[in-house]
Every structure is written in C-alpha cells, then in structure tokens.
Chains A and B, each alone.
Chain A
Amino acid sequence: MRSLNGVLCLLFSLSLMLDQISIRASDASGDEERTASDFQENIFFPSLSLSMSEEQEITKYCLDLMHEYGRTYSSLASCLVSSARPVKVCQNCYGRNNSFQEVFANISTGMGPGNMSCEEVLFRSDRLMLLINLYNYLEDVWTVSECLNCLSKDRGSVSNTTLYFLDLHNQSLSCFEKYKQGNYSKLCVDCRPSYKVLNDFYSKMSNNNSLCIDIEDAMNMTRHLWSTTYKCSLQREENVPVIAVSSFMLFLPLIFYLSNYLHSEQKKRKLMHPRRVKSSHSLKNSQEKYS
C-alpha cells in the first residue's frame, strides 16, 4: 500500500516539475469548486458561515501558500531523484527539504489574515487529502534516510563528522584508483591503512548512531569493492591451530570417560528382599530372581 502510494507521489511530483503551469491552472479551478461546496455546506451550518468576501480573501492567501508548496515540493523531489544513485540525498537536498518544511509549517500552524489557518482548507477538505499525503511520503523518505544524523544541529549544514568521513572516503577511493590496474594484492597491501582508518571511523560513527543513508551507502560500496571486487578480505590462515585445539578438546572427554570406566569403582546397589506372603500365584520371574 505504502509503496504504491510512493510511486504515485513520485509520478505526481514528476508531472509537477514538467509543467507547473498547467497544474496551477487545474489547481485553481479545483479550488473554486471546493470553495463553492464549502459555501453550500455552510448554509446548513449557519453559525459557521462566513461572509463571502472574507472567505475569498482567506482562500487567496491559502492559494498562495499552496503554490509555494508546489514549488518547493517539486524542487525537493527533483533533487531527491537526481541524487538517488549513488545516494547523496542528505548532502544535496537538505536545503530544499528545509524550505519545504518551512512552507508546510506555515500552512499547518501559520495564521493568515483574519486569524484563520489554511490547514483545514488545504489539508482536510476532501477524500484525497493530496497535499498532506504527499508531505507524509516525503517525510517518510526523509525519516528512513536518517539524514538528520548527518546534519549539524540547526540543520543548516552538513555536520563535521560527515565531512571528515567523506574526506576519508575519497582518500580510499583515490587509493583504489591508483592501484586498480596492477595486481590486486598490491592494492590490498597499500590501501589497507587508509581503508582501515575509514572502516574504523565508520564503526565509530555507527556506535555513536550518527549514520545516514549517504554514509551507509558510500561505505557499502567501498566495502563491496574491497571485499568482492578486489578480494582483500581476510583469509582463513589458522586452520591448523584451530583444528588442533578443537580436536584436543574433543579428545579430553574421551580420555575422561575411558579412564573412569576403567578405573572408577562401579557403584553397586544393595538389594533388599521384602518379606511377602508366598503364594502359588506369585510371579514366576520374581521367584526365579529370589531363588
């Protein structure tokens, strides 16, 4: 359900980017219809009805907000798509995300003229609830990517840790680039220091919970190169000692049990013979046993 939703949203945002003008036009017409229905509703609830002019003024204000929403949305969406592979969404799009969030906050909490919020009008007036759903989807993407971990506290820039990591990452990559042509074994030896520094730093970040999708993806790709493409992972080199120690340990209980079997005194039980009435019926085997 969610993924379908997401696909729809992406499609929609793409179409938004392609021709914004037409969307605006259609939006506007839709808006008029909606206000009309609003008006009709208000006939039945006279206490809530507003004067015509006031209603239109608010609608105008909200309409502006909605256009702003569309603009920031499409810019964010296009940024996300273009940074999808290799993943750089956090580094590239945090600014646009910030402005999109700002617009959303304006709609949901901001007060227009006449102290009326556009939230009700824009977000919850129809079954589709398109704007809020679009927002939710992008918000999900943002949450899953955990970009906040890579940004500075005020979300205004990429954090220093991230920058440092990217620097290390580039060093490793350039090292790979340098030795790529020749024998990979030389690459494994020469690039190990820089790779190890990178790997350790990554582990440290992972422990501090300061990973975001950009970093994870970069690291994954590097690890893949290192382990699979260049085959630099560790090899089993200690088979002999491990086998020796293990089999020695397996051998110990054998000796233990054997020696006990041979030397330990077997535990005997003293039998008691209860006195019973002797009878012709009594069990044959019991008689045999006692005789």
Chain B
Amino acid sequence: MANNIAKKASGGSMFHIGRMSTVDLGEETINTEEQDLVKLRPSEIPHNEKLLSLKYESLDYDNSENQLFLEEERRMSPMMSGNQSLVHLWPHRPPDRTHCLLHRRRGGVPGWKKYEAVKHYIDKFTEDGGLSVSLLLWAILNSAFVMVGAILVAFFEPIAAGSGIPQIKCYLNGVKIPRVVRLKTLLVKVCGVICSVAGGLAVGKEGPMIHSGAVVAAGVSQGRSTSLKKDFKIFEYFRRDTEKRDFVSAGAAAGVSAAFGAPVGGVLFSLEEGASFWNQMLTWRIFFASMISTFTLNFFMTIYKGKPGEFSNPGLINFGRFDSENVEYNLYEIPLFIVMGAIGGLLGALFNVLNYWLTIFRIRYLHRRCLQVMEAMLVAAVSAAVSFAMIYFSSDCQPFKKDSQEEYPLQLFCADGEYNAMATAFFNTPEKSVTSLFHSPPGTYNPPTLALFTLAYFLLAFWTYGLTVSAGVFIPSLLIGAAWGRLFGILLSLLFPSKNTIWADPGKYALMGAAAQLGGIVRMTLSLTVILVEATGNVTYGLPIMLVLMTAKIVGDYFIEGLYDVHIRLQSVPFLHSEAPATSHWLTAREVMSSPVTSFNKIEKVGTIVDVLSATSTNHNGFPVVVNSGTDNESGRLCGLILRSQLIVLLKHKVFVERMRSQQNRRRLQLKDFRDAYPRFPPIQSIHVSQDERECLMDLQEFMNPTPYTVPEETSLPRVFKLFRALGLRHLMVVDDVNRVIGLVTRKDLARYHMGKHGLEEMDLAHA
C-alpha cells in the first residue's frame, strides 16, 4: 500500500509547533511523499525562456549508503583506496589521442581541398569572366558540406548541435542531459564539426572539442560501451553518477587544454564553468589529466608533422607567440584596454540579445528537422555570398611578402604580385585569420577592410550560432574581436602618431579586442584569462587581459547574461546557479517543496510499486520509505529514501520476500548488480511482473538509503539552495517535528525561482 496520502495544504500549519531548527539525519520512521503532478490543468503557451522542462533529471551525486554499500566497503577497504586513485589517473590519456586524430581530419583535408578548388576557379574566372559562376560554385560547395553536417545532427543526434559547452555545463551542474555523453553523440559531433568547418560557416571547433573530451572521458571511465554492447570489465567502481561526473569535468578540462594548449586554463575552465564540487584531489586529478592531454596531443602532432620527439605544438590552434620586443605595454595603455573591454562587453551583449531572439524564433517555428537542415544550408550559402561580395568589391591590395602567412592568396583585381587583403581574412580557416590578425606586421590591413569584415562576420556569427550543426563560438568571437581590436589599434596610431614601437602595435590591440569580444559573449573571466595567456605564451599580458575580461563581463552582465546561460535558459534546463536569487530569504521550504509526496512502506507490495512506477503522471525518481504510525490518515515517519533505478533493478531480479524464503541458497543481490545496470536502467514497461508476483512483498530496508538529508519546514530557500549546491543533492525531504515527511524539494522546485524585472519570479514547468 502506498502511502499516497494527499496531505491537504491547510494541514501544513499544524506542524509549526516545535519546529526543528537543525537538519536532522537518519532518524527512523515517518511518512513521506514525493513531488506529484496530479492536478493536471494542461494549458499551452508558446515556448519562452521562463520554463523548466520536465525531461531533465538530476544526477545522483549523493552516495546511497545502504547496507549493500557498507558490506562492499568492508570487503574492499584495504585495496580500494590506493587502487582507485591510480586508476583514476591513467584513463585520461585516450581522450587526447582522439583529439589529435580529429584535428588531423578537421584542420587538414577539408580546408585546403576546398580552398584550393575555389581559388583555382576564381583565378581562372577572374581572367575569362564568369566570376558569378565561381561564386555559385563556392556557395554550393559550402552548402553541400553543411547539409551533410546538419543532416547528421538533426536526424541522428540533435544533442550534438551547437558547441556542447552549455550541455556540459548543465551536466556538471548536476542535470542529466539525455544522451549528452554517449558514443553516438561523439561520433556525430566529430563528423558534424568537420562538415561545418569545411562548409565555411563562421564557426570554430574548440567548443565541440571540449564536449568530445568530456564524452571520451565519461566513456572511458565506464570501461564499456552500451552502444557497442561491449564490456571490458574494468573500472566497475566508476559506474556511478558521482564518479562519472568527476570524469566529465576532467574530460572537459582535457578538451580545453588540447584545444588551446592551456592545461592550467583547462583546469580553471572546469572550475569556473562546471564543477560545483571541488576538492584538492579532484583538482589535482583534473590538472594531471590536462597536462597529459597537452603532452599527448603534442606528441602526436610531432609525428603528424614528421618530427617525432620535438615538442612544439602544445595546442591545436596556435595563436602564435607574442614574444618579440614590441609586446610590452605602457601604463597609460591600461585605460585604453579597459575601454576596449567595455566595447567588447557592449558588442557581446548585442550578440547575445540578437542570438536570443533568433533562438526563440528557431525553437518556435523551425522545429521540423528538414527545416533546420535547410536553414543551415541557407546560412552556408549566404556566408559564401557575403564573403565573396566583400572580397570582390574590396580594393585593399597588399604586396606579397616573403614570410607572409597567407596560404591561399587571391589576386583577383589586384595588380600582379599583390593579393587581396579582404580575401585573406575570409578565404581562410578562422583560426588562420585570427593568427594573421594577431601577428601580421602593421599596415597589412586597411581600416575599411577591417571595419567591413567585423560587421559582416559579426552578423554571420550570431546568425550561425544555434543552427543545427556542431559548431563552437570561441573562434568566431575571437576573430570578430581581433578584427575590431586591430582596427582600434590602427586608429589610435593614426590619431596619436608616435615613434614608440610599443605604442599601438596593432597585433597587441587585436589580442585585447579578441579577449574583450570573447569575454563579452561567454562571460568567463578567470579561465579565459589563463587560456589566452597560455595560448599566446605571454605572461606579460596577464593583467591587461584580466582587466579587459572583467570590464567586458561587468558591462555585458548589465544587459544580458552570457551566451551559454542564455541557451541553457532557452532549453528550459533546471540549472542551479551558485547563489540563490537575492531577496528570497522569506521563502521557506514549506512554500518551495512539492507536496504531497508518493511514498512506500518499508515492506511494500510489488503491485503497488509497479503501479506507482508505471503511472504516467508520476515520473518521480526518489521515493521516501516510511513506517506507518498506525492510523491511516497520518503520513508515516521517514526511515529512508529509495530511487527509481534501485526499485527497477530489484524488480528485475525479483527480490521478493516470498522468493527469498523459498530459495535459501539464492545469491544475494550486490552493489555490482546495480552498477551493471547503470546508466541505462530499463523502463518499467519492459519488466514483466505476473499477477501472482504482484501480491508478493518487497523488503526495501536493505536497499534504501537509511539516512537521507532532511530539513525542517521553516528552512529558508537560500539555506536549502546551499545544501543542494554543496552536497549535490537530488532529493531533500521536508519533515515536521516528529519526522513525518510533509514534502520533498527537488532541483526543479529551486530552479524555478529567478530574479526577473519585477523582483522574484517563478517559472512554469512544461513538457518537453
């Protein structure tokens, strides 16, 4: 019999007497319930950002200390502690091997093949006429590449769209994003990125790199692949959400460090963007993983470049080193950098606002897959057309230099022996263009070229982000920023001519502009500073970059939050920020919690359990286990918490009291059986329970978590929030003075409060 006691709202007030002021754990008995969505009054509204989707669940970060766990710990304790940390260290290597392979394909083949072909045609048609043909050719080539990528993403794995950083951020926040760390996602992501980069979209491959790092780490840590149905029988102890999440944060760090050659930046990225839970051991492991990642990448790059053993390629993108003599800065330049930071913040906010509106439109109107593919193709075609038109009408010709970095110089209508500067910026992979903007000597680009380029690329980039293709936003932002930063530097030197070479070196201002723009869009400060310092190999610029990023963040936050947060909000993810919303102290657990709660007795009928689990209206995951105090209308006292996944495993193995009695020699269920089912527990529908078995009883005592976290009903929202953040909770029981469960707080109950324009606002729950 489930204690499905609908506790009336008015009944709550009687528990005010003698409320407890401390969190009490582990007291037995009391009746409990679970968040229930019974009063269905479905109304439909268009998608907006003030929704929480029901499809997202929490990760079980909190360890269930049931009897099985204690037994296993007793058995394992001597060998576990040492073994685990050792094993924890080495699996991080494979991610990086993959990165290297990816890069080879990404950077290499599609890039030059396409540019070479297009360059050939443009050269030919410039002379003979028919340049519009080459424009069409370029557009069609781009669209074809992008079509392949978009079809892959839209039809096979929609979660692989975008940069993947928002998803990883959510995962590390404790939200289980479905399918985000699957092998299939990785494959689609990799192929998708190759296609979108080859398709000439205004995208980068660094975000996807971070995502794939996380996927590889998560996959490797499990020692098996469910998709490939292969179990290597290793790392079985990592088959828990807790361990997997640590691995994902290490994988993301390894991804950053491989992408930018910034191991410390990777660690800080994990810290800033991801892990809510942080301790020395985890930090050290992540750091180790990042370093190994850089090393491995470096090693394979040396082989790729034919010089094995000469380590000189720490990252996939190389911004070149700022280490000539004119890279210092003067004290009086610091205010200029801060101004640039402010500009970056403004432009970043503009970018985010535009992208926000566009994304809402996309979610509302472009939800059919073929439409998404079509949109991506259109963007690719327009990108090509815009680039072409700008190159065509640009009259910025620069003479060849012996050591110029242009791989595909286009002459077009320039005099012989000169090349089109606009073409250098467009007709190149974005990474190369960034490097060129950073390091080309002064005078390589004309101001009008840069201004036009910034404008065009800005529009293309905000239009592109959020398409159904795998693509990151790091490099496009850097490129936009580098372009206007360089422009800024050139204008400065025109306004205040000076013989001093340190003053207004355009490369330096390009770097600052890139930092400002990226900071204005993604609003990272700590990690981005270190990443940029490491990627450019210059510590001198640490302080200016930090100031620029800080200013950009402050200015940008005044208007709108960061791009990743915008997208998290638009996906209706119940994301817990680091702090509870301000002015929410007057809200108590009573008002926040869901009530009444569905709960089970310690010894419960199988039929009841199956019914509760398969009810479509209750997709709850945690069920309080209670001891009935006798009278039927009272809820029982809390004695534990059992998870849906545990119940399913129990049902699958038919751990019924009657059976245990009849078969004495039957093997007892171990923790291993739960781990083997992880992470894809079968749905309740797939478990067959016969009519006879429905009458059996199940003893939950052994399997439930006997000491779940509880709070008294008068606890304030910020206090509950802190518990959730710090402990990574999934369920928090609200109990009265005699330990009876009166409600249950989950992530969605907390995440729905946010600061809106008119003070504290509440978000609605919605079906996906």
Tell me if A252 and B132 are in contact (CB < 8 A).
Answer: no
**A242, A249, A282, A289: residue with the most chain B Cβ atoms closer than 10 Å:** A249
Tell me if B385 and A246 are in contact (CB < 8 A).
Answer: yes
Contact flags A264-291 to B (C-beta < 8 A → 1, else 0) = 1011111111111111011101100100
Q: From known contacts A223-B416, A242-B132, A246-B386, infer whether A275 and B39 are also in contact, taking CB-CB under 8 Å.
A: yes
Bound-state Cα–Cα, A264 to B361, Å: 11
Tell me if A274 and B37 are in contact (CB < 8 A).
Answer: yes
Tell me if B371 and A264 are in contact (CB < 8 A).
Answer: yes
Tell me if B762 and A289 are in contact (CB < 8 A).
Answer: yes
Interface residue A148 (Cβ < 8 Å from any Cβ of B): no
Which of B9, B131, B415 is close to A233, meaning CB atoms less than 8 Å apart? B415
Interface residue B625 (Cβ < 8 Å from any Cβ of A): no
CB distance from A267 to the nearest CB of B (A): 5
Q: Specify the chain B residue showing the minimal Cβ separation from A236.
A: B413
Tell me if B41 and A279 are in contact (CB < 8 A).
Answer: no
Tell me if B132 and A244 are in contact (CB < 8 A).
Answer: yes
Tell me if A270 and B139 are in contact (CB < 8 A).
Answer: no
Bound-state Cα–Cα, A270 to B766, Å: 5
Q: Specify the chain A residue showing the minimal Cβ separation from B762.
A: A286
Interface residue A237 (Cβ < 8 Å from any Cβ of B): yes
Bound-state Cα–Cα, A274 to B574, Å: 15
CB distance from B118 to the nearest CB of A (A): 15
Tell me if A227 and B416 are in contact (CB < 8 A).
Answer: yes
Interface residue B743 (Cβ < 8 Å from any Cβ of A): yes
Interface residue B587 (Cβ < 8 Å from any Cβ of A): yes
Q: Which segment, of A34-42, A100-108, A178-186, A253-261, faces chain B?
A: A253-261
Tell me if A199 and B371 are in contact (CB < 8 A).
Answer: no
| Residues of A close to B12: CB separation below 8 A | 277, 279
| Residues of B close to A261: CB separation below 8 A | 361, 365
Tell me if A266 and B46 are in contact (CB < 8 A).
Answer: yes
Tell me if B39 and A219 are in contact (CB < 8 A).
Answer: no
Q: From known contacts A246-B135, A266-B46, infer whether A278 and B389 are also in contact, taking CB-CB under 8 Å.
A: no
Bound-state Cα–Cα, A283 to B761, Å: 8
CB distance from A147 to the nearest CB of B (A): 15
CB distance from B730 to the nearest CB of A (A): 17
Bound-state Cα–Cα, A227 to B127, Å: 14
Tell me if A275 and B760 are in contact (CB < 8 A).
Answer: no
Interface residue B547 (Cβ < 8 Å from any Cβ of A): no
Interface residue B284 (Cβ < 8 Å from any Cβ of A): no
Q: From known contacts A264-B368, A267-B365, infer whether A279 and B378 are also in contact, taking CB-CB under 8 Å.
A: no
Tell me if A245 and B43 are in contact (CB < 8 A).
Answer: no
Interface residue B767 (Cβ < 8 Å from any Cβ of A): yes
Which of B9, B36, B129, B135 is close to A277, meaning CB atoms less than 8 Å apart? B9
Tell me if B417 and A273 are in contact (CB < 8 A).
Answer: no
CB distance from A288 to the nearest CB of B (A): 10
Would you list which residues of chain A between 62 and 84 have a CB under 8 Å from chain B? none
CB distance from B125 to the nearest CB of A (A): 9
CB distance from B718 to the nearest CB of A (A): 15
Tell me if A277 and B590 are in contact (CB < 8 A).
Answer: yes
Tell me if A256 and B414 are in contact (CB < 8 A).
Answer: no
Tell me if B385 and A250 are in contact (CB < 8 A).
Answer: yes
| Residues of A close to B388: CB separation below 8 A | 242, 246
| Residues of B close to A249: CB separation below 8 A | 139, 381-382, 384-385
Tell me if B385 and A269 are in contact (CB < 8 A).
Answer: no
Interface residue B392 (Cβ < 8 Å from any Cβ of A): yes
Tell me if B413 and A233 are in contact (CB < 8 A).
Answer: yes
Q: Specify the chain B residue showing the minimal Cβ separation from A245.
A: B132
Interface residue A120 (Cβ < 8 Å from any Cβ of B): no
Bound-state Cα–Cα, A260 to B378, Å: 14
Q: From known contacts A279-B9, A279-B12, A282-B591, infer whether A273 and B41 are also in contact, taking CB-CB under 8 Å.
A: yes
Interface residue B229 (Cβ < 8 Å from any Cβ of A): no
Interface residue B363 (Cβ < 8 Å from any Cβ of A): yes
| Residues of A close to B385: CB separation below 8 A | 245-246, 249-250
| Residues of B close to A274: CB separation below 8 A | 35-37, 594, 749, 765
Which of A241, A246, A268, A282 is close to B46, meaning CB atoms less than 8 Å apart? A268
Q: From known contacts A233-B414, A272-B54, infer whether A253 and B382 are also in contact, taking CB-CB under 8 Å.
A: yes
Tell me if A246 and B389 are in contact (CB < 8 A).
Answer: yes
Interface residue B668 (Cβ < 8 Å from any Cβ of A): no
Tell me if B132 and A241 are in contact (CB < 8 A).
Answer: yes
Q: Specify the chain A residue showing the minimal Cβ separation from B363.
A: A267
Interface residue B596 (Cβ < 8 Å from any Cβ of A): yes
Bound-state Cα–Cα, A221 to B40, Å: 83
Q: Specify the chain A residue showing the minimal Cβ separation from B130.
A: A238
Q: Specify the chain A residue showing the minimal Cβ separation from B53.
A: A269
| Residues of A close to B384: CB separation below 8 A | 249
Tell me if A242 and B743 are in contact (CB < 8 A).
Answer: no
Interface residue A235 (Cβ < 8 Å from any Cβ of B): yes
Bound-state Cα–Cα, A275 to B617, Å: 12
Bound-state Cα–Cα, A235 to B392, Å: 11
Bound-state Cα–Cα, A85 to B160, Å: 61
Tell me if A245 and B367 are in contact (CB < 8 A).
Answer: no
CB distance from B94 to the nearest CB of A (A): 40
Interface residue B374 (Cβ < 8 Å from any Cβ of A): yes
Interface residue B595 (Cβ < 8 Å from any Cβ of A): yes
Would you list which residues of chain A between 169 and 228 have a CB under 8 Å from chain B? 199, 219-220, 223-224, 226-228
Interface residue A234 (Cβ < 8 Å from any Cβ of B): yes
Contact flags B754-768 to A (C-beta < 8 A → 1, else 0) = 000010111011110
Contact flags B103-139 to A (C-beta < 8 A → 1, else 0) = 0000000000000000000000011011110011001
Interface residue B379 (Cβ < 8 Å from any Cβ of A): yes
Tell me if B415 and A227 are in contact (CB < 8 A).
Answer: yes
Would you list which residues of chain B between 13 and 65 have a CB under 8 Å from chain A? 35-47, 51, 54
Would you list which residues of chain B between 569 and 592 have a CB under 8 Å from chain A? 586-588, 590-591
Interface residue B366 (Cβ < 8 Å from any Cβ of A): yes
Bound-state Cα–Cα, A275 to B767, Å: 16
CB distance from B6 to the nearest CB of A (A): 8
Which of A227, A250, A275 is close to B594, meaning CB atoms less than 8 Å apart? A275
Q: Which 9 residue pairs of A and B lie closest in terms of their CB atoms, listed nearest first?
A: A227-B415, A268-B44, A241-B132, A249-B385, A269-B766, A223-B416, A278-B9, A272-B765, A286-B762
Which residues from chain B sit less than 8 Å from chain A, CB to CB?
Answer: 9-10, 12, 35-47, 51, 54, 126-127, 129-132, 135-136, 139, 361, 363-368, 371, 374-375, 378-379, 381-382, 384-386, 388-389, 392-393, 413-417, 586-588, 590-591, 593-596, 742-743, 749, 758, 760-762, 764-767
- 27 A-B pairs, CB-CB below 8 angstroms? A220-B417, A235-B413, A237-B129, A242-B131, A243-B389, A246-B135, A246-B386, A250-B385, A252-B378, A252-B382, A256-B374, A257-B361, A260-B366, A261-B361, A264-B368, A270-B44, A272-B767, A273-B39, A275-B595, A277-B590, A277-B742, A279-B591, A281-B586, A281-B591, A283-B760, A283-B761, A283-B762
- Known contacts A236-B393, A243-B389, A271-B764; 12 further A-B pairs (Cβ under 8 A): A226-B415, A227-B415, A234-B127, A244-B132, A250-B386, A256-B378, A267-B367, A270-B44, A273-B765, A275-B37, A276-B594, A279-B12
Which residues from chain A sit less than 8 Å from chain B, CB to CB?
Answer: 199, 219-220, 223-224, 226-228, 233-238, 241-246, 249-250, 252-253, 256-257, 260-261, 264, 266-279, 281-283, 285-286, 289
